Copies of this chain bind each other. A is one copy, B any other.
Amino acid sequence: MIKIVLIGAGHLAFHFQEQISRCKKVVLKQWYSRSIEKIKFAEKTVDITDQIPKLKAADLYLICVSDSAIPDISNKINVTGLVVHCAGSVPMEVLSNHPRHGVFYPLQTFTKTRELRFDRLPFCLESAIETDFELLEKLALLLGGNPHKVDSERRVLIHLIAVVINNFGNHLLQLGSELSEHNNIPFDIFGPLIKETYEKAVAMGPQHTQTGPAKRNDQQTLDKHLSMLESHDLKKLYLNLTTSIQKRNEQKQL
């Protein structure tokens, strides 16, 4: 049985709370948030608090607050268990005031209102003391995930790549959806294309699935599209992404 104290009330903390409640061998001893109202809904099933000095004894303290708030909250915590944060781009060392510290970073995008499947979710794990790694690994497995040993330097790289894939990928969909709305085209007509785009890239590797006017150097279509884009920002993005695709065409020809 792993006893957890959860610290924070953002998207990630909500998903951890839900998943822990489903796992028989993990128990949520306490949930802390400086805004107690945010976690009030859970008070019948878990001990809640907004007082750092009142944190209970536990095996693991899971800090799920915004990156910039991690050092401050870490400095206030005075416990003997293992203290970990869940951030992609924050070095493990910000927790070094605790003899036992580490990182428990889930490589996923979280939104409070959307249920998330934890099965095979990759967790990037790191611990200051080697024996603590087992506990993190065990927790990742009990939650249904896939544990990976990743040091702080590589974790930032993984986070950077995740930003390119998820944050920028989502933004492209938003740009597409805005163009649709502006022109009264129902966005759901693109559903099958979106699905196939990403399933194909995952199945075959994205270097083998590039298609379209940039890939085939179809200047006529590129010019037509550029002339249709009213926004200066969108034109710039279209040009930069097109150039980036075309540079890879040239490399192939060399």
Contacts and interface: CB of A to CB of B under 8 A. Distances in A.
A197 B248 contact: no
Interface string A236-251: 1110110111011000
A164 B172 contact: yes
Interface stretch (A26-34, A41-49, A72-80, A107-115): A107-115
A244 B233 CA distance: 7
Interface stretch (A57-65, A95-103, A128-136, A207-215): A207-215
A67 interface: yes
A173 interface: yes
Given A196-B109, A237-B241, A190 B211 contact: no
A225 interface: yes
A113 B187 CA distance: 28
A1 interface: no
Contacts of A215: 167
Given A89-B225, A177-B207, A206-B177, A172 B169 contact: yes
Nearest to A110: B211
A233 B154 CA distance: 22
A68 interface: yes
Copies of this chain in the oligomer: 2
Given A107-B192, A116-B196, A196-B108, A164 B171 contact: no
A248 to B, nearest CB: 7
B169 A114 contact: no
A150 B168 CA distance: 30
Contacts of A66: 216, 218
A201 interface: yes
A11 B121 CA distance: 35
Given A172-B164, A175-B164, A225-B160, A111 B209 contact: yes
Nearest to A212: B167
B183 A170 contact: no
Given A163-B213, A174-B207, A201-B194, A185 B157 contact: yes
A165 B176 contact: yes
Contacts of A228: 156-157, 160
A108 B192 contact: yes
Contact of A240 (B108, B169, B237): B237
Query: Which 5 residue pairs are nearest across A and B when measured between Cβ atoms?
Result: A167-B212, A173-B206, A174-B206, A198-B198, A166-B197
